[in-house]
Amino acid sequence: MTVVNVAINGFGTIGKRVAEAVTRQPDMRLIGVSKTRPDYSAVVATRILGYNLYVPADKIEEFEKAGIKVAGTIEEMIEKADVIVDATPGGKGAEYKKLYVEKGKPAIFQGGEKADVADISFSTLCNYEEALGKRYIRVVSCNTTGLLRALCTLRKAFGLKWVRATIVRRAADPKEVKRGPVNAIVPDPAKLPSHHGVDVKTVVPDLDIMTAAVVVPTTLMHVHVVYAKLARSATREEVIRVFEEAPRIILVDASLGLKSTADLVELARDLGRRRYDIPELVIWRESITVNGDEIVWIQAVHQESIVVPENIDAIRAIFKLAKKAEDTIRVTDETLGLKKFL
């Protein structure tokens, strides 16, 4: 079996999760992760998780003074890798691309980068086969990934005429202390549309979609209210069955007490999920309302983890390790413990 050597550039919210996911894949090996600051996360990466840590050349001394073992420079990490997953802060990936190109290495970028950083914007359920053999792939952002999982599932089953969605965005990730709002609801942006619908179209260009977004004071998850017109009439039962059968989508019942993102996160904790991650898209079953060819539903997106499976699939797409979406989904979802029921 081919085993691909993967480096993670940027060991933060997304990078640390993708790193761990890589270690669970039978066809991938994690060769190292990178950071620029010698903080607790660098200690966890090296001493607890046993990862090779690479840092900028001019920071090696600083890390060593802090007692953190360094395996080499970020350039050296890139040289050793077959592929780099770039999970540096938004915009940095485009700067790093020059280095990846110079070293002749393919790379995966995140949704904080502009679409033109890569050959293709990617979401497994929508365009896995189109990404096969590409050198630079951008995994779209968490909200866009959540939207696309549901929309590509419906499009395949019924066809889609148009989509309108309101995105209620979390203000910050749980570890972030300098972001807000703390006590306000902020249109994001006030001038419509929000970037999410535009971003969906980087993956499904012919979809008629418009989104608006507001930011609210929570760190737990994003929530979307989605309205869509199908290409044909359907029954509620049909729509529920299609969502139930789709990979990476879970239907939950508010009647069981899962009434909020706080309940979802509490359930993830009770289930002993690592970091209380929920990489599945969560749809409230009761919210699914079908009236002929019009449909409405409410869904929740765990921003810290939803893009992790897609990053793993993107690595397989670059090296054609799985020819079909269903083949990579099977391995990724089993190794990461994704469920169809919570």
Which residues form the interface with ligand X15 (CB under 6 A)? 111, 141-144, 169, 196, 303
β-pair partners for 85: 8, 108
Going by C-alpha positions, the residue among 311, 312, 264 that lies closest to residue 284 is 264
Query: Does the protein bind ligand NDP through residue 197 (CB under 6 A)?
Result: no
> Out of ligand NDP, ligand X15, none, which partner does residue 144 contact, by CB within 5 to 8 A per kind?
ligand X15
Q: Is 233 annotated as a binding residue?
A: no
Q: How far is the CB of 221 from ligand NDP (least distance, A)?
A: 10
Q: Which is nearer to ligand NDP, 112 or 197 (CB)?
A: 112
Q: How many residues bind ligand NDP (CB under 6 A)?
A: 26
**Token pair for 293:** 């060819």
According to CB under 6 A, which one of 7, 83, 108, 111 is a site residue for ligand NDP? 111
Query: Does the protein bind ligand NDP through residue 219 (CB under 6 A)?
Result: no
Q: Is 74 annotated as a binding residue?
A: no
> Residue written as tokens 């669970």?
24
Distance CA 98, CA 256 (A): 51
> Out of ligand NDP, ligand X15, none, which partner does residue 311 contact, by CB within 5 to 8 A per kind?
none
Output DSSP code: residue 45: I
Return phi, psi of residue 195, to 5°: -70, -10
Q: Which is nearer to ligand X15, 4 or 148 (CB)?
A: 148
Query: Does the protein bind ligand NDP through residue 153 (CB under 6 A)?
Result: no
Going by C-alpha positions, the residue among 50, 49, 48, 6 that lies closest to residue 26 is 6
> Out of ligand NDP, ligand X15, none, which partner does residue 143 contact, by CB within 5 to 8 A per kind?
ligand X15
Q: Is 143 annotated as a binding residue?
A: yes
Q: How far is the CB of 166 from ligand X15 (least distance, A)?
A: 13
E-state strands within the chain: 4-9, 28-34, 53-55, 72-73, 83-86, 107-109, 120-122, 136-139, 160-170, 186-187, 209-216, 222-230, 249-252, 281-284, 289-291, 294-301
Q: How far is the CB of 40 from ligand NDP (least distance, A)?
A: 10
Return phi, psi of residue 290, to 5°: -125, 130
Name the binding residues.
13-14, 112, 141-143, 170, 196-197, 303
